Amino acid sequence: MSIKGVFPIDKWDFKSESILADLPSDIYELLTAHKSEQVYKRNEVLFREGSYPSGIFYITKGKVKKYKVDNEGKEQIVYLANTGQLIGYHAILSEDRYPDSAAVIEDSTIAFIPKEDFLKTLEHSPVLNNRLLKALSHEFSVLANSLTMFAQKTVRERLALQLIVIREKYKVNYVAGMPVEINISREDLASLVGTARENVVRVLTEFKEDSILETKGRKIIIRDVNKLIKIANLK
């Protein structure tokens, strides 16, 4: 089912697909003049926190996690980016190092656009500037909501919420009434929720017993998103 109207997905899911959509042809050609594409295998790293950016990344196909690593080496995923989204441009705009790391969570095709082409295009395109500003504003709002979620919600509520958001990212060629299949490791899911892997496995088992979802290996098939929305408790 579509969750539009029953769940405020825009508060939790940042989408940057519209940044490059329908750009004037001359601007798009300027931006992609020296673009290159590469296939990355699952868990391969695009960039690491603290390194200097040499360009931006466009997800042609696949999914990428943005994450931070604490002093003990524990990973905290801050966002999952989807096909069609741009990542890595924050550091260039702020003229600083990458504030986080990025790695693919499934085999993905990623396009790389050199920093020089990106900055040159910004100089010639008010449209691209405005879209990036709007995207940054929305992303800040999504991250602020996420911080509030971690502070106020239980593991069960947080997992339900993340499954709803991730479900939207895996709705490819979706047909009404069709269950959505999520392909994500329990480690990455635990990192998104901000808890131990054991807690995620336990709550997933509870959800299975309640006929909310089923699992096949690392795959999670959402059967009843309405029950997840109730559990997420977003009143």
The identity of residue 161, as a single letter, is L
Q: Phi and psi at residue 17, in whole multiples of 5°? A: -60, -30
Which of 99, 129, 149 delimits the end of a domain? 149
User: Do residues 132 and 23 share a domain?
Assistant: yes
User: Do residues 142 and 160 share a domain?
Assistant: no
CB 140 within 8 A of CB 90: no
d(CA 8, CA 147): 16
Q: Which domain holds residue 29?
A: 9-149
Q: Please identify which residue in the block is written with the tokens 């696949």.
A: 62
* CA 204 to centroid of chain Cα atoms: 21
Q: What is the CATH number of the domain that holds 211?
A: 1.10.10.10
- Give the strand pairing for 86-87 and 180-183: unpaired
Residue 179 lies in a domain: yes
C-alpha dist (Å) from residue 217 to 89, 162, 186, 221, 232: 35, 19, 10, 11, 24
Residue 178 lies in a domain: yes
User: Do residues 210 and 97 share a domain?
Assistant: no
d(CA 100, CA 72): 16
Residue 3 lies in a domain: no
Q: What is the CATH number of the domain that holds 55?
A: 2.60.120.10
d(CA 92, CA 97): 8
User: Do residues 56 and 170 share a domain?
Assistant: no
User: Do residues 145 and 161 share a domain?
Assistant: no
Q: What is the pLDDT of residue 174?
A: 62
Residue 41 lies in a domain: yes
Which of 149, 177, 201 delimits the end of a domain? 149
Average pLDDT per 10 consecutive residues for the chain, totaling 235 residues? 70 76 93 97 96 96 94 89 92 95 97 98 95 88 81 92 92 73 95 94 97 94 94 82
Residue 2 lies in a domain: no
Domain total for the chain? 2
User: Do residues 94 and 175 share a domain?
Assistant: no
Q: What is the pLDDT of residue 110?
A: 98
The identity of residue 208, as a single letter, is K
Residue 1 lies in a domain: no
